[in-house]
Amino acid sequence: MCISSFLYLIFLFVPPMDSQYIESQENFSTNLPEMTGTTIMAVKYDEGVLVGADCRTSMGTYVSSRFTDKLTKISDNIYCCRSGSAADTQAIAQYVKEVVQRSSFIDKEIPSVKKAAMIAKEIIYKNPSLLAGLIIAGYDTSPKIYNISLGGTITEADWQIGGSGSAYIYGLCDTLYKDNMTLEEAIEFVKQAITCAIRRDNASGGSIRMASISREGVKRYFYSGEKILN
């Protein structure tokens, strides 16, 4: 059979790619913006606050990193958990960090968790094109947790969750949360919640990072994906 006849048979019998297939290939492109479509959370315990997040970043269906640190230090007593566009959230966190630290230096005061949250809230509210959902938590005169959702809504609570994986664990967190947990209990609470989100949300994955923030300072924790999923 000649080559031209063979190509003609392929044209006749191979169906064209449907729109869903084409769209899936476009989503695979590594030219897409890097996203921290993710699971982030923060919870108060008896001496401070504990923040946690998974470690996956992705570009479409491509996993660009399994070890991303989504817990960004704003000051010695404040941390920001980031979800959404990696570029947008990094830029917001860096701006909040600079403003908070400058204000603290001028006023000679411990940085305020609420002030940091309000700065982030104003940025997100006034720039609706930004794809950013943040949790800002820390310890000034007491432990505080603020959630800033897409669009700039801000809420304060004893525990907060965010990111694409949060939809799978609201009921679990409602069931497991209790007041005045010890640090060990809070770590287990966050670990169990994020692990459950990782199992169901394809935008969350990798390992788990945490940070406890109290009057004594900050301590970081890391739990590898191999251990939490086995």
* CA neighbours closer than 13 Å in the CB half-sphere of residue 175: 6
Which candidate, 192, 188, 133, places its Cα nearest to that of 164? 133
Query: What's the rounded Cα separation, in Å, for the pair 212 and 45?
Result: 9
* Sheet with strand 143-148: strands edge to edge: 71-75, 78-84, 132-139, 143-148, 154-156
Query: What's the rounded Cα separation, in Å, for the pair 45 and 58?
Result: 32
The runs of H, that is alpha helices, within the chain are 3-13, 19-27, 86-107, 113-126, 170-176, 183-200, 225-228
Q: Is 38 labeled as catalytic in the residue annotation?
A: yes
Question: Do the Cβ atoms of 136 and 117 come closer than 8 Å?
Answer: yes
Pick the catalytic residue: 30, 36, 38, 155? 38
Written as six digits, the tokens of 57 are 């970043």
Active site residues: 38
